[in-house]
Amino acid sequence: MRVIKDEFWTSKQRQEFPLHYIVSYRAAFKAELPDFFIRRFSKQGDVVLDPFGGRGTTALQANLRRRVAFHNDINPISEKIARAKTRPVPLAAIERRLQKFDLSRPVCLDEHSELLAFYHPDTLKELLNLKREIQRDCDDVNRFIELVAVSRLHGHSDGFFSVYSFPQIAVLPEAQRKINEKRKQTPPYREVKSRILRKAKLSLQGAERFQERFPESLNNQIRTGDSRQMRWIEDETIDLVVTSPPFLDKVDYLKDNWLKAWFYGIEEKTFEENLVQTRSLEEWKVFMRETLRELYRVVKPKGVVVIEVGEVRYKGELVNLDEIVATLGEEVGFSLGAILVNEQRFTKLANCFGVSNNEKGTNTNRCVVLAKGIIERLEFPRHQKTLSLFENI
């Protein structure tokens, strides 16, 4: 197996288009990762698929590079995030819409009492009214407002609707009550509209006239479904896949996202069954083999599939999932190009904030590069310049 190690993309945080960072999501990868492969293995107008799309990083980056994005994830939250992110609207439209919303109508909070661990009653009233107003019309403006609202549900600064809580994961009400006791805090009133506007303004920097500048985004396909059966994609129509599957049971996508699901009005029961977060390596291998077989069906001849995985500790041993994916990929017919290991050297500052490093002081993304057909020897230039807000795209 050809393993190439280098620092292919920057370890600096938040260097990309601000819209990428609008909402947190568990186990998301940096936009630099899909960008690196999109530039290397596709051209303008090509179709780039992410079958485990998460918060839509591949989809947005594909559009920014003038590719069509196909996005799939079993979690309906992912579809909502990715759709709104790839259809940003002007700030003025958000402002006008918010002005029309009446968030002060009286609401009975009895059946939402658990949420009072997070929100002041008046904030909760505004949120419930906001949900109702958004549901009245599902146009792009409301969808974008909904996305911004979802990004403000829990966190530790005044910009969030909640009292001090964790930004990355939504803790359960019981745990939040404990946090409140420990910190001797009660939820303060946090006005909703001004916080949405402030966050929207930040996130929309550089996103003006999005559809005009990135017209490929009009052909995006954003779906909810199982990676093992993406019937909505025709055979041999995808140029490039860039993705990161769930790593065994590393992350609980249901529990960690329950507040987002509440705001979106999504019943977790509807997709729980097919969400893969297994403890068993054998089950994970079967799942990945089936997904790879489906990817082989949808990818064009000479198309490329990049799968980012990590090392996991399994039954006391360190298992390199990249090696397993490489073998499974070959079993279903792909040829293995290389395993690319991006070594990121963290800055001192990142260490202070407790970013987890391995013993060598580096952290890695391990990307398996597979191709449908014979692949020529791959060269990977380091540090391809990434899009920045200030770059004229």
Ligand X SMILES: C[S@@+](CC[C@H](N)C(=O)[O-])C[C@H]1O[C@@H](n2cnc3c(N)ncnc32)[C@H](O)[C@@H]1O
Our CB check for ligand X shows the closer of 57 and 129 to be: 57
Our CB check for ligand X shows the closer of 275 and 312 to be: 275
Burial of residue 231 (number of CB atoms within 10 Å: 0-12, 13-18, 19+): exposed
Q: How far is the CB of 338 from ligand X (least distance, A)?
A: 20
Our CB check for ligand X shows the closer of 34 and 187 to be: 34
The distance between the two most distant Cα atoms of the chain, rounded to a whole number of Å, is 66
Q: How far is the CB of 72 from ligand X (least distance, A)?
A: 6
* Under 8 Å between Cβ of 246 and 274: no
The one-letter amino acid code at 187 reads P
Residue nearest to ligand X (CB): 54
CA atoms within 13 A on the CB side of 300: 12
Tokens of 360: 């060598």
Q: How far is the CB of 100 from ligand X (least distance, A)?
A: 32
Q: DSSP for 171-237, please give it.
A: --HHHHHHHHHHHT--PPP--HHHHHHHHHHHHTTT-TTHHHH-GGGGG-EEEE--TT--TTSPTT-
Q: How far is the CB of 321 from ligand X (least distance, A)?
A: 12
Residues belonging to the chain:
393
Q: How far is the CB of 79 from ligand X (least distance, A)?
A: 10
**Which residues bind to ligand X, rule: CB under 6 A?**
25, 27-29, 52, 54-55, 57, 73-75, 78, 226-227, 244-246, 253, 274-276
* Under 8 Å between Cβ of 307 and 245: yes
Distance between CA atoms of 227 and 74, rounded to whole angstroms? 7
Our CB check for ligand X shows the closer of 33 and 115 to be: 33
DSSP category for residue 28: P
Our CB check for ligand X shows the closer of 55 and 67 to be: 55
Q: DSSP for 328-348, please give it.
A: HHHHTTPEEEEEEEEEEE--H
Our CB check for ligand X shows the closer of 187 and 246 to be: 246
Q: How far is the CB of 86 from ligand X (least distance, A)?
A: 13
Angle at 162 between CA 161 and CA 167, to 5 degrees: 100
Our CB check for ligand X shows the closer of 272 and 330 to be: 272
CA nearest neighbour of 51 among 214, 293, 285:
293
Q: How far is the CB of 199 from ligand X (least distance, A)?
A: 19
Our CB check for ligand X shows the closer of 166 and 247 to be: 247
Q: How far is the CB of 64 from ligand X (least distance, A)?
A: 15
